[in-house]
Amino acid sequence: MLIHPMPDPIAFSIGPLQVHWYGLMYLLAFAQFIALGRLRIRQPHIAAVGWKKEDLDDMLFYGVLGVVIGGRLGEILFYNPSYYFANPADMIAVWKGGMSFHGGFLGVLIAMYIWGRKRGRHLMDIMDFIAPMVPLGYAAGRLGNFINAELPGRVADASLPWAMIWPNVDNLPRHPSPIYQMLVDGILLFIVLWFFARKPRPRMAVAGMFSLLYGCARFFTEYFRTPDYNVSFGGITISAGQMLSVPMIVLGIALLIVAYKRNTVTSPA
């Protein structure tokens, strides 16, 4: 039986400065955004609408604020409001983990809207551009969750070769759900979306495909994760993560319908 290694959440220390693995994963996520962005602006249909290297650095600043502020607020409000309002000092302790993707998604939308107003770009053109760079950053975050021994999976059959005991939870074999979400919601989604976005698509199509695929992938992988809490609708019980993924699925379908109904490829802003 595999046992979670429970590594030290502190990767290394420099004097009084402690560098956490979770922070390193976010640094990796932002670095891959720049690296993939530089590849993306070389694609002919992206270069044709005026995207430049300078846009990446500017967007990253706004995006970091959107991810961190939105992700943390999402974790506080969507998942653990009672805990955080009882322990307000922990609201800013992001190095301990606890970032909501759905909150970060909303935060990035707001940040990109503000950046777009400043630069004269349509919000959906921005989201179409950055969508293929998001899944690998998400995957890095889920790896950080695993290192921190967060988001334990549901109890698994002991015969499952990769079932794992999480010593900080109990002695039962569990699914390594952060790894599932890293692989499916992150890496697999990146591969599909990157190839989809390599060709010119109507405005909103790439963003819509991301929203649809992420919502579906997250809804699926949530079946293997211990839910933060459950919600019931008409006798059907789903987890909080699944509930928050449903609007993304609906949004993705709506964006794709509108995009292909208009059937016009993005033109320069």
Measured in degrees and rounded to the nearest 5, phi and psi for residue 34 equal -65, -45
Q: What is the DSSP string of 178-212?
A: HHHHIIIIIIIHHHHHHHHTTS--BTTHHHHHHHH
Q: Extract the runs of DSSP E, i.e. beta strands, from the chain.
A: 2-3, 10-14, 17-20, 164-165, 173-174, 230-233, 236-239
142 annotated binding-site participant:
yes
Pick the closest to residue 129 from 39, 230, 231, 18 (CA basis): 39
Gap between the Cα atoms of 175 and 1, Å rounded: 12
Gap between the Cα atoms of 261 and 236, Å rounded: 33
Gap between the Cα atoms of 110 and 114, Å rounded: 6
Name the residue with tokens 């609007």: 247
Name the residue with tokens 């609408």: 49
How, if at all, do strands 164-165 and 2-3 pair? parallel
Task: Cite the annotated binding site by residue number.
Answer: 142
